Amino acid sequence: MRKKPWANEMIASRTDCVITDPAALKGSWKQFSVNGEVHLEIGAGKGDYWIKMGNMYPETAWIALEKNYDCAAIALKKSLEQTDPNMKFIIGDAALAGEWFAEGELDVIHLNFSDPWPKKSHAKRRLTSVSFLKDYRTILKKDGKIIFKTDNSSLFEYSLLSFEEEGWKLTEVSVDFRRNEHPEDAITEYERNFMAVGQPIYRAVWQPER
């Protein structure tokens, strides 16, 4: 991602949604939700999913988390005029999520087209690796869920095994999610590109307790 000279200014101007000290909100994210639900999207990229879902479900709190500063700036630019009070943005690393969210505070975690990190030596960086799953289990409520979409068959297989190893319950699985219409679920930037070249979208949903 090329450096965006306007990134600092854009991010600083978005005081309506950028949370600069997420740890200070630990345990109180529900304040942004009308129906009591809090969804976290990890690796939000340029923000399409966050914007569309946040607008489509205004009663639910939608928190985007993105570690790449320039990417976050693009999402924040794109969402000008489209950010409802239920939508918040954290610029940071998912490895710190346990410091920002209290035990059982989240209803749903969305992982959309997470980086595959194909080298075995980088496996720990995958957002579905065992150490991340341990953190997710803590911050998700007992009957919460993780919804994962990817184009990458190797990452999908790896993730199925990783969740299995950690004792999660697989509740939904599809190897061609967009075979049917799913108007309830927004299409991400990556997803749109993969769909355009006919790549099937893999999707799975897990719950922490069997």
Ligand X SMILES: C[S@@+](CC[C@H](N)C(=O)[O-])C[C@H]1O[C@@H](n2cnc3c(N)ncnc32)[C@H](O)[C@@H]1O
Question: Is residue 99 at the binding interface for ligand X, with CB under 6 A as the rule?
Answer: no
Closest separation in Å from C-beta 34 to ligand X? 25
For Cα atoms 125, 202, 180, give the angle at the middle one, nearest 5 degrees. 150
Of 103 and 115, the one with the shorter C-beta distance to ligand X is: 115
Rounded Cα distance between 46 and 161, Å, is 29
Q: Which residues contact 97 (CB under 8 A, 6 or more apart)?
A: 40, 42, 65, 135, 136, 139
Which member of 94, 108, 139, 204 binds ligand X (CB under 6 A)?
Answer: 94
- Tokens representing 153? 């068959």
End-to-end CA distance of the chain: 40
Convert residues 58-77 into a mask of x (bound to ligand X by CB under 6 A) and - (unbound).
-------xxxx--x------
Of 8 and 35, the one with the shorter C-beta distance to ligand X is: 8
For Cα atoms 195, 197, 203, give the angle at the middle one, nearest 5 degrees. 35
Say which of 93, 115, 143, 176 is annotated catalytic.
Answer: 115
Question: Is residue 43 at the binding interface for ligand X, with CB under 6 A as the rule?
Answer: yes
Closest separation in Å from C-beta 202 to ligand X? 13
Of 93 and 103, the one with the shorter C-beta distance to ligand X is: 93
**Segment 128 to 187, residues that bind ligand X, using CB under 6 A:** none
Of 89 and 163, the one with the shorter C-beta distance to ligand X is: 89
Q: How many CB atoms lie within 10 A of CB 171?
A: 11
Active site residue 115: yes
Rounded Cα distance between 78 and 40, Å, is 19
Question: Is residue 113 at the binding interface for ligand X, with CB under 6 A as the rule?
Answer: yes
**Residue 206 near residue 163, CB atoms below 8 Å:** yes
Rounded Cα distance between 190 and 210, Å, is 31
Chain centre to alpha carbon of residue 75: 13
Closest separation in Å from C-beta 99 to ligand X? 13
Of 61 and 187, the one with the shorter C-beta distance to ligand X is: 187
Question: Is residue 22 at the binding interface for ligand X, with CB under 6 A as the rule?
Answer: no
Active site residues: 115
| Residues at the interface with ligand X (CB under 6 A) | 42-45, 65-68, 71, 93-95, 112-115, 127, 188-191
